[in-house]
Amino acid sequence: MEVGSVVKIRFKRFFKEQRLWIFIGKVMESNNNWLKIYGKGILFNCGKTNPIDIDDEARTLYCPMGSINYIRLLPDDFDLTDIKTLRKDNRWYVEIEGHPNTSLGEGL
- Strand partners for 24: 8, 40
Residue 14: the pLDDT is 86
Instruction: For Cα atoms 84, 89, 93, give the angle at the middle one, nearest 5 degrees.
Output: 25
Contact 92, 85 (CB under 8 A): yes
**73 inside domain:** yes
Q: Is residue 75 part of a domain?
A: yes
* Number of domains composing the chain: 1
**Which structural domain range is residue 47 located in?**
6-106
Is 20 within a domain?
Answer: yes
Cα–Cα distance list, 35 to 68, 94, 97 (Å) = 10, 22, 26
> Is 69 domain-assigned?
yes
The model's pLDDT over 48-74, given as tens digits with 9 standing for 90+, comes to: 667 788 999 999 999 999 999 999 999
Q: pTM score, two decimals?
A: 0.87
Higher-confidence position of 89 and 46: 89
